[in-house]
Structure 1
């Protein structure tokens, strides 16, 4: 099977793009099948059921890609690194796994897929491929929203109440995100420092835009966990939950598109800060 000689997100044709999409979904299905089998063998039917739900979700995504492929035969796909990451769930002691951790892993896999397709759109050699990659990115964003809801449900089942919660608003939280990004240690003239400054500026711009034109309401802001606002990753995670929740409830298409754009920005920020 030939190796891809360009960056993995550079797609030469629609068939190649859809072949990559299919390979990503199939790899996720295979990964969850293996995890479900292991949980059954280890006497954890509760977690086997969680992974079976994830299998069904991914098989639905795979079916959509196959419909899009139509009569085209998918090309073989070979990469140096896999798309799917089980984050150690395949080897860690099953006693240490929870449904919350399982859904967290699934969320991060979908976020990586979203970032992949935004890269593919940005580097698309034709308008057709760009639009297709953007469509796949939008679908991945929808998958992220679904799985994050499941993760929140799992979290609340695990912990019925979060102590020290407060009320807050999005401009304040975005301003706090900008502060944390600026204060994050990095070499002053390095690429990382420049990237952090850019992300901080984007957060401040969102704060200004949200102050000028407030969005609808999300109940998530009524109970902001007290341990969220002081750390980058939890704050990004919480802001993303807020924007995805707003995207489902905004009354106009323009308002929905705006918060979806903010959600996309936060996923990119989250992806960057996790690499620090």
Structure 2
């Protein structure tokens, strides 16, 4: 994520916003193309196929942005710093890479893009730009859901039968998240003093809301890895998976939007947890 001091998410026009979106998607395509080429050269057809799927996904995103641009020529833009991060996959020994790690990297890149567009919406100078940024954020949330499903599949293929688990309860897990946030020192450089307590309170509010009005069922709660509730980032990851899964299973639009809102909240919490 670019440094907030430079405010790269302040878009002066629709053309600039869409040009930024195009540059971000092209950056992701280029990154995955490079990784696919490396895996092909090193004789890893399994990972070549994974990165080719990610290329196709990102090209689909890029095509949507180009449709929105229409006949407008994209403005030349320069990202303050790359938003796409291969997390060392371009240099680490290919033997250490797995499909799970590849999809984990893709998930985190989509989450960064989601955070970027939520900031862009919050700082938008007009309703038109705010609505467009919110639309892009919703698109990224959909990409996050798709890639997290792929990551879960890769994880279960890798760890089938290896890990023990327990039955989970969303309000209990949210209260546990609040405890972990409340007990964690705000030690990250520049960490706002009220951010973690604020996130802890939000977790308690979600717990109360879920207790009062329980959502539908998600099979993810049938098997919660035993080490997840005691660790901040894994717990955020797990709760995000639950809300995204529930958003797809709910039968009414209001219930789906509620779960999507909780998922959006959890991405913000996860982003803060990773910075600690």
How does the TM-score come out when normalised to structure 2?
A: 0.96
In the alignment, the residues of structure 2 paired with residue 162 and residue 10 of structure 1 have an alpha-carbon distance, to the nearest angstrom, of: 47
Corresponding residue for 1:130?
A: 130
Cα deviation, residue 185, structure 1:
2.3
What does residue range 146-165 of structure 1 map to in structure 2 within 5 Å? 146-165=146-165
In the alignment, the residues of structure 1 paired with residue 157 and residue 51 of structure 2 have an alpha-carbon distance, to the nearest angstrom, of: 17
SS for the counterpart of 2:225 is coil
Corresponding residue for 2:140?
A: 140
Corresponding residue for 2:8?
A: 8
In the alignment, the residues of structure 2 paired with residue 162 and residue 261 of structure 1 have an alpha-carbon distance, to the nearest angstrom, of: 33
Contact 1:247 1:256 in 2 (8 A): yes
Cα deviation, residue 191, structure 1:
4.5
Residue ranges of structure 2 left out of the alignment (5+ in a row): none
Contact 2:8 2:80 in 1 (8 A): no
What does residue range 1-276 of structure 1 map to in structure 2 within 5 Å? 7-186=7-186, 191-276=191-276
User: Structure 1 residue runs of 4+, over 2 Å off?
Assistant: 161-164, 190-193
Cα deviation, residue 161, structure 1:
2.5
SS for the counterpart of 1:10 is coil
In the alignment, the residues of structure 2 paired with residue 179 and residue 136 of structure 1 have an alpha-carbon distance, to the nearest angstrom, of: 33
Q: Deviations over 1:193-229 (max 9, x none)?
A: 4211000000000000000100000000011110100
Residue ranges of structure 1 left out of the alignment (5+ in a row): none
How does the TM-score come out when normalised to structure 1?
A: 0.96
Cα deviation, residue 237, structure 1:
0.2
Cα deviation, residue 163, structure 1:
2.6
Cα deviation, residue 77, structure 1:
1.0
- Taking only aligned residues, the RMSD between alpha carbons, in angstroms, comes to 1.3
Contact 1:247 1:257 in 2 (8 A): yes
In the alignment, the residues of structure 2 paired with residue 62 and residue 196 of structure 1 have an alpha-carbon distance, to the nearest angstrom, of: 35
Q: How many residues align?
A: 270
